[in-house]
Amino acid sequence: MVTRTAVAALATCAALLAATGCSSSFGSAEEPEQDASGKQRLRVLIATSGDAETKAVKAAAAAYAEKSGDTVTVEVAKDMNQQLAQSFAGHKPPDVFYVNSDQFANYAKAGSLYPYGDRISDTGDFSEQLRASFSYDGKLMCLPKDTSTLGLVVNTDLWQKAGLSEKDYPKDWKELEAVADKLTGDGVTGLVTSDEYQRLGVFMKQAGGWLTDPAQKKMTADSAGNAEGLGFVRSMLKSGSMKFAKQVDTSWGGEALGKGKAAMTIEGNWLDGGMKLDYPDVKYAVAPLPAGPAGRATLAFSSCWGVASESAHREAAVDLVTHLTSPDQQLAFADAFGVMPTRTSALATYAEREPSVKAWVDGSAYAQAPVTIAGFDKVLGQFNTDLQSLRTADPKKILADLQRNGEQAIAKGN
C-alpha cells in the first residue's frame, strides 16, 4: 500500500526533478537486481524532431533486436522532462533515453544515470568537447548522441536580387552590418533569428565572452566581451536590419528564411530537414558565422544516450547504446534527419558525403559547448526572457542579472 506521504513525495519529485535534481531514490541506495535471463526486454524513450527521426531510431533498434535476440521497444515522449521525472520518481524508468544537455547535470546529480562511459573501449573517437559536456564528477556518464552547430544561412535568391554574390558573404561584424542593411527592404529583413541565448550567444563568444569559465565553476556573464556582443546585436536591432523571428510573424529563423521574410538567419544543421519538408523550392547556402573582435565562434548543441541507474537490463542497455553510436549508425542518422555524428571518424565521412554542410561541420572544431550545471536550465530560461527586450534594455543590466542567478545555481549545483 502506498502511503499519502509517499504519493506526495512522488508528485513533488516528478514536478521538480528536471529543474532541481530531486533525488529519484528517496534515500534508497540499493543496486537494482539485474535480469539474468538470456533475452532482455529494453524500453527506449526519445524526444523526436519528426517522423524521419522516429523512423530512423526505430529502424536502428529493430536491427539491434534482430542481431541480439533482445526485444527493444521505442516510445516517443510528448513531454520528455516530465515523463522522465515521473518514471524516475516511480522507480520505473526506461532503460535507455535521450538526455538533453540542459538537463544532463540535473539527472547526473540525482543519481538517475548509470555511468557507463568507462565500459566503452573507443571513447577517444568521440569529440573531446562533447565528452566533457556529458561528464560528471570526472566520469563520462553517457555517450553524445549527435551534434549540431550554428552557421549563417543565406536565401540565395534574395542575395542575388540585392546584387550580392558568394564573395560578399560577411567575414566580420562590420561586413555583416553592411550586407544586412543592404538586404533590408520591401518586406525583407537582412538578418532574422530567435530571441534566445542559443543564437545570440554566438555574438558574446565572438567578442571574447561566455557565461562561465571553462570548468563551469565560476560565472563570467558580466564581462566586457559579453556586453560588447549583446551591444552589437542591440545596435542591429535598433537599425532595423536585424529582427527577432516573432517580429516578422514567424516562429523561428528557418520559417522566416523559407517565407522570404529573412535574407539571412543563424541556425543549425537541423534546418536542412525543415526546409526540405516545408520550403522545398527555397534555395539557400550555409556560410561560416562572421568573426567578432575576438575571432570566429559558434555554439555546439548535443544530447546523449542515457542509461537508467535503476534499469534491470544495464548490460544489454549499454550494448544497445554501443550499437546506436557506432560509426555506421551515426552516419545513417545523419542521412535520415540531418544531425552530425559525434564520432570524429564518422564526422569526416559525413563531410565528404555532404559538401553543402561544410560550414556546420567545420564549426565543430571551434564551437562552444553547452553549459551543463545542475539547476542552470532555470537560469537560462530567465536569461532568454530578458533577451526578448534586448532592443530597448541595457545589456549590462541583463548580464548582471544573469551573473547573480548563475552564481546561485553554481553554489547549489556543486
Residue 272 scores a pLDDT above 50: yes
Please give the Cα distance from 357 to 343 (Å, whole number).
16
Most distant pair of Cα atoms in the chain: their distance: 74
Please state, in angstroms and as integers, the Cα–Cα distance from residue 93 to each residue in 198, 241, 262, 309, following that order: 29, 48, 43, 9
| Of 26-35, 113-122, 128-137, 316-325, the least confident | 26-35
R_g of the chain, CA atoms, integer Å: 22
The secondary structure element, H or E, covering residue 137 is none
Q: What is the pLDDT of residue 247?
A: 97
The secondary structure element, H or E, covering residue 288 is none
Residue partners of 363: CB distance under 8 A and separation at least 6? 149, 150, 151, 288, 289, 298
CATH class of 149-300+372-413: alpha beta
Q: Supply φ then ψ for residue 41, to 5 degrees.
A: -115, 110
Q: What is the pLDDT of residue 15?
A: 38
> Confidence band (pLDDT; 50, 70, 90) for 23?
very low
Grid cell of 21 as nine digits: 535534481
What confidence tens digit (pLDDT) does each residue in 185-234 have? 999 999 999 999 999 999 999 999 999 999 999 999 999 999 999 999 99
Give the dihedral sign, CA 241/253/251/297. Answer: negative
Q: What is the pLDDT of residue 36?
A: 83
Place of cell 553549459: 371
Q: Spell out the domain ranges in the chain.
A: 38-147+302-360, 149-300+372-413
Q: What's the rounded mean pLDDT across residues 360-385? A: 94
Residue partners of 326: CB distance under 8 A and separation at least 6? none
Q: What is the pLDDT of residue 17?
A: 42
In this structure, what DSSP letter does residue 222 have? T
- CA 16 to chain centroid, in Å, comes to 21
- φ/ψ region of 287 (left if φ > 0, alpha if ψ in -120 to 50, else beta) reads beta
Q: What is the pTM of this model?
A: 0.86
Please give the Cα distance from 393 to 389 (Å, whole number).
6
Mean pLDDT of the chain: 91
The CATH topology of domain 38-147+302-360 is D-Maltodextrin-Binding Protein; domain 2 (3.40.190)
Q: What's the rounded mean pLDDT across residues 274-296? A: 95
Residue 135 scores a pLDDT above 50: yes
Does this chain's domain 38-147+302-360 share its CATH topology with 149-300+372-413? Answer: yes
Q: What is the pLDDT of residue 51?
A: 87
Pairing of strands 189-193, 242-244: parallel
What confidence tens digit (pLDDT) does each residue in 71-125 have? 999 999 999 999 999 999 999 999 999 999 989 999 999 999 999 999 999 999 9
Long-range contacts of 52-56 (CB under 8 A, 24+ apart): 52/273, 52/336, 52/337, 53/333, 53/336, 53/337, 55/336, 56/332, 56/333, 56/336, 56/337
Residue 21 scores a pLDDT above 90: no
Single out the residue of 236, 282, 287, 289 nearest to residue 260, CA to CA. Answer: 282
The secondary structure element, H or E, covering residue 267 is strand 262-268
Q: What's the rounded mean pLDDT across residues 13-22? A: 40
| Of 11-20, 45-54, 201-210, 288-297, the least confident | 11-20
Q: What is the pLDDT of residue 9?
A: 33
Q: What's the rounded mean pLDDT across residues 16-31? A: 45
Q: What is the pLDDT of residue 306?
A: 98
Please give the Cα distance from 262 to 255 (Å, whole number).
9
Grid cell of 22 as nine digits: 530531486
In this structure, what DSSP letter does residue 244 have? E
| Of 45-54, 110-119, 289-298, the least confident | 45-54
| Residue 143 near residue 120 (C-beta atoms within 8 A) | yes
> Confidence band (pLDDT; 50, 70, 90) for 413?
low
Residue 300 scores a pLDDT above 80: yes
Pairing of strands 189-193, 262-268: parallel
Q: What is the pLDDT of residue 270?
A: 86
Please give the Cα distance from 217 to 379 (Å, whole number).
15
Please give the Cα distance from 113 to 255 (Å, whole number).
36
Please give the Cα distance from 70 to 320 (Å, whole number).
10
Residue 414 scores a pLDDT above 80: no
Cα dihedral 115→116→122→127 (10° resolution)? -40
